[in-house]
Amino acid sequence: MTDLTEGLGARLRRLLDLLDGDLEAIYADEAPGYRPRYTPIMKVLANGEPHTIKDLARRCGVSHSAASQTVSRMVAGGFAVQAAGADARERAISLGPCGAALLPRLQARWAMADEAAAGLEAEIGLPLAGAVTAAIAALEARPFRDRVLEARPPGEAGGRSAPV
């Protein structure tokens, strides 16, 4: 049971743990070593074209560092391969042999997960995916840090305070 005294971030991490943990268990049977965090990159690579880390990060909505770390793990597992890009500083990332072989089964699992997510939304009576997308857009427009600082009590000094 969820502790309702948890903050928003803790609740979101718990939700993600519940979703990803179960997906990882499903993938373990068919695709040992595959992680749910690979899915956005795999979906981009599914078009058969090589992509740079920068492009993958942009298209997946993650930092360059996060995309690079994920791709490194995918390469180690055979899900992706990398080659020199057009620019010597870039790497071109494509599906690896393991990723290409698994793609049809993964796509079927992704469709099943989408159906399950729709069922979850119907059960809870909330458009969860839409709410998350709207929250991301709102926080990209005005970061949470700004929102927290705007909630500062009147008269409280700005800047850094002593450690708590």
Residue carrying structure tokens 């990060």: 57
Q: Is residue 2 part of a domain?
A: no
**Region 94-100: what's the mean pLDDT?**
96
Q: Is residue 1 part of a domain?
A: no
Say which residues have a Cβ less than 8 Å from residue 87's Cβ, sequence separation at least 6.
none
Task: Report if residue 158 sits inside a domain.
Answer: no
Domain that holds residue 80: 8-150
Q: Is 127 part of any domain?
A: yes
Tell me which residue of 95, 77, 82, 88 sits closest to 53, measured CA to CA. Answer: 82
- Whether pTM > 0.85 for this model: the answer is no
Is residue 94 in a domain? yes
Let me know if residue 3 belongs to a domain. no
Residue 105, pLDDT score = 95
What pLDDT does 89 receive?
A: 82
Domain count, the chain: 1
The answer to whether position 122 is within a domain reads yes
